[in-house]
Amino acid sequence: MSLFRISSTKILELQKACPTASILLRGLSAEQTNLKSVLQEKIPREQEKIKEFRKKHGGTKVGEVTVDMMYGGMRGIKGLVWETSVLDPDEGIRFRGLSIPECQQQLPKAKGGEEPLPEGLFWLLVTGEIPTEAQVQAISKEWAQRAELPAHVVTMLNNMPSKLHPMSQFSAAVTALNSESTFAKAYSEGVHKSKYWEYVYEDSMNLIAKLPVIAATIYRNTYRDGKGIGAIDDNKDWSANYCTMLGFDDPKFTELMRLYLTIHSDHEGGNVSAHTTHLVGSALSDPYLSFAAGLNGLAGPLHGLANQEVLVWLEKLRKQVGDNFTEDQLKEFIWKTLKSGQVVPGYGHAVLRKTDPRYTCQREFALKHLPNDPLFKLVAAVYKVVPPILTELGKVKNPWPNVDSHSGVLLQYYGLKEMNYYTVMFGVSRALGVLAQLIWSRALGLPIERPKSLSTELLIKQVGK
């Protein structure tokens, strides 16, 4: 039954005439396992909805900008539209309205598994709907089939010096993949702008499919014997293939990676990696160039590199206090870090004001699978001691742990000990969120980003008036 042949104008008419039409349409898309076809139906409806909304409310104010906001990293300025997720300061992230526990409950899982498959999260981010198992399996298959790397990228990766940081290798390889961009080719051939999203979709699907191959090659070249990573298996999901290529075969590690790759995907639009990908994409740079730019931002120690920093910090702490530590010893180490002008990595956030639910779900994973691990015990003890100290400092707006505070200890437990590699895994996951949004940014025809800046001199003149 090909109900998907109904035109989008017909669907809009149907929705206006019948309030239950969206439920009906949801039913229709549940039968369709081709993500692009689902999008083809959704995009005109969303374009129309936004057009109507802007016609009525285009001039409505949504906030104000103060001088402090301008000097303070634009904190709190509502200046971006990001469809795939929204971050609440107290509650944490919601992916298309679903919290992390709801995603864990409702998204399809691998056979015998307990954690959500990132393929399902991607479907949710792109469509706003929870996928069926058949839809998730279709994505796994499609990504497996699109995974092959062009020869020049393999050669480039194999010639990277092993002392080059894995994140630099990663972003360089993603940049070089733009030789394959269907968007760049179509643009140079003069494609109509209404078709941009289709090419961005193709590039995004190809890029996501290839990321685990690139990431695993980097891992094996840098930390192992550099021998082949083996072939992608069409019958395995995206995370399982990634784990096999890395050289890990513990099913519990694969489950951890499914959770890890799901929860690191998206954190609304203003964070450095998401905003950078969006900004570069707005110049109509192709998805490879846009995402590589985002990766370079993720590689900063205040953003994604914090997961590496946390482990370096924990190792130093453990070396100093051992496994039978007292709270006073921990406090002393934390104060030493702060007094030497450094941040406590893994704590604090620009938007969140409570413990990050991505931290909590990783803590729950640890409580279930590695409750007696000494490093986990240290992480749990640090969780008790750091927040009161950061609160005492008086200036830290959020003394609670973020996602990066907990991911490394889990990876260490399963034997992935090379902490300089951790941000690469974050990057593989982050692609899901920022590329889902990039498809929508082009579908909605969002323009080149260009906010206004002022010099201090001009600002003083203007405010002094």
Q: How far apart are CA 138 and CA 287, in angstroms?
A: 22
Question: Catalytic: 404?
Answer: yes
- Could you tell me the smallest distance in angstroms from the CB atom of residue 101 to ligand AMX? 20
**393 or 463, CB closer to ligand AMX?**
393
- Could you tell me the smallest distance in angstroms from the CB atom of residue 301 to ligand AMX? 7
Question: Catalytic: 278?
Answer: no
* Residue 166 interacting with ligand AMX (CB under 6 A): no
* Residue 348 interacting with ligand AMX (CB under 6 A): yes
Residue from 368, 397, 417, 461 touching ligand AMX (CB under 6 A): that is 397
**53 token code pair:** 């909304």
Look up residue 315 and give its amino acid. Answer: E
Q: Cβ distance 88 to 94 under 8 Å?
A: yes
**94 or 303, CB closer to ligand AMX?**
303
Q: 137 phi and psi, to 5 degrees?
A: -60, -35
Residue nearest ligand AMX, CB atom distance: 348
- Could you tell me the smallest distance in angstroms from the CB atom of residue 463 to ligand AMX? 22
**220 or 363, CB closer to ligand AMX?**
363
Question: Catalytic: 356?
Answer: no
**209 or 396, CB closer to ligand AMX?**
396
Choose the stretch contacting ligand AMX; rule: CB under 6 A; options: 18-26, 219-227, 398-406, 437-445: 398-406
- Could you tell me the smallest distance in angstroms from the CB atom of residue 360 to ligand AMX? 15
Q: What is the CA radius of gyration of the chain?
A: 23
CA dihedral 396, 402, 406, 408 (to 10 degrees): -90
**180 token code pair:** 């394959």
Q: How many CB atoms lie within 10 A of CB 387?
A: 18
Choose the stretch contacting ligand AMX; rule: CB under 6 A; options: 215-223, 225-233, 389-397, 453-461: 389-397
* Residue 416 interacting with ligand AMX (CB under 6 A): no
Residue 124 DSSP SS3: helix
Choose the stretch contacting ligand AMX; rule: CB under 6 A; options: 146-154, 213-221, 347-355, 416-424: 347-355
Q: How many CB atoms lie within 10 A of CB 312?
A: 14
* Residue 395 interacting with ligand AMX (CB under 6 A): yes
Q: How many CB atoms lie within 10 A of CB 304?
A: 28
* Residue 266 interacting with ligand AMX (CB under 6 A): no
Which residue in 91, 89, 94 sits closest to 106, CA to CA? 94
Residues 283-342 touching ligand AMX, rule: CB under 6 A, are 302-304, 306, 338
Q: How far apart are CA 307 and CA 260, in angstroms?
A: 12
Which residue in 244, 276, 37 sits closest to 142, CA to CA? 37
Query: Which residue among the candidates 264, 267, 275, 349 is catalytic per the annotation?
Result: 349
Q: Cβ distance 386 to 122 under 8 Å?
A: no
Choose the stretch contacting ligand AMX; rule: CB under 6 A; options: 100-108, 163-171, 172-180, 394-402: 394-402
Q: How far apart are CA 234 and CA 140, in angstroms?
A: 8
Query: Which residue among the candidates 237, 286, 356, 404 is catalytic per the annotation?
Result: 404
Residue from 212, 281, 346, 433 touching ligand AMX (CB under 6 A): that is 346
Query: Which residue among the candidates 264, 267, 278, 303 is catalytic per the annotation?
Result: 303
Q: Tell me the Ramachandran region of residue 96: left when phi exceeds 0, alpha when psi lies from -120 to 50, beta otherwise.
A: left
Q: How far apart are CA 34 and CA 236, in angstroms?
A: 18
- The residue ranges that bind ligand AMX (CB under 6 A) are 271, 302-304, 306, 338, 343-350, 390, 395-398, 402-404
- The set of catalytic residues is 303, 349, 404
